[in-house]
């Protein structure tokens, strides 16, 4: 567990330095040993989203949702990827689901407001 935490910290540091390939290597190393490591999956998905690889990010988020289907932040992250692909209405469903789980999830609130604004004629 300590080793995994150290690796996650190292990968986060690499991401902050925009050393994405090295960070991916660490996330993949963790996931090879612990395929259900939620932190590694979320962080890897987040980097993929940042790089515009929305479909790949969604795959990471879907794995997390299979493990923990009530993770509001992952629901929002998946919704954001879906919105980036251009599917605003389905994205709103994910934001609403996140809010139904955690009514104080600020990212979900902001995301739903933004999505509704974008959809205005």
Rounded to whole angstroms, the Cα distance separating 112 from 89 reads 10
Read off the pTM: 0.92
CATH assignment at residue 23: 1.25.40.10
Q: Report whether pLDDT(56) > 90.
A: yes
Q: 17-26 burial, b for 16+ CB within 10 Å, e for fewer? A: eeeeeebbeb
Residue 118's pLDDT band (cuts 50, 70, 90): confident
Question: In terms of Cα–Cα distance, which of 43, 39, 41, 112 is closest to 79?
Answer: 112
The answer, yes or no, to whether residue 119 has pLDDT greater than 90, is no
In the DSSP assignment, the letter for residue 105 is -
pLDDT at site 70 = 95
Asked if residue 1 has pLDDT above 80, the reply is: no
Question: Number of folded domains in the chain?
Answer: 1
Per-residue pLDDT at 79 exceeds 80: yes
**In the block, residue with structure tokens 């290597």:** 25
Domain interval for residue 18? 2-119
Rounding to the nearest 10 degrees, give the CA dihedral for residues 112, 89, 40, 22.
Answer: -100
């Amino acid at each position: 567990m300590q080793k995994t935490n150290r690796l996650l910290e190292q990968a986060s540091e690499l991401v902050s330095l925009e050393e994405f390939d090295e960070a991916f290597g660490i996330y993949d190393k963790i996931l090879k040993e612990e395929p259900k490591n939620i932190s590694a999956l979320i962080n890897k998905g987040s980097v993929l989203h940042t790089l515009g690889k929305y479909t790949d990010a969604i795959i990471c988020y879907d794995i997390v949702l299979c493990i923990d289907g009530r993770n509001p932040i992952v629901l929002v992250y998946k919704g954001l990827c879906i919105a980036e692909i251009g599917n605003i209405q389905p994205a709103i469903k994910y934001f609403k689901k996140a809010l139904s789980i955690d009514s104080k999830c600020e990212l979900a609130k902001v995301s739903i407001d933004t999505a509704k604004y974008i959809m205005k004629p």
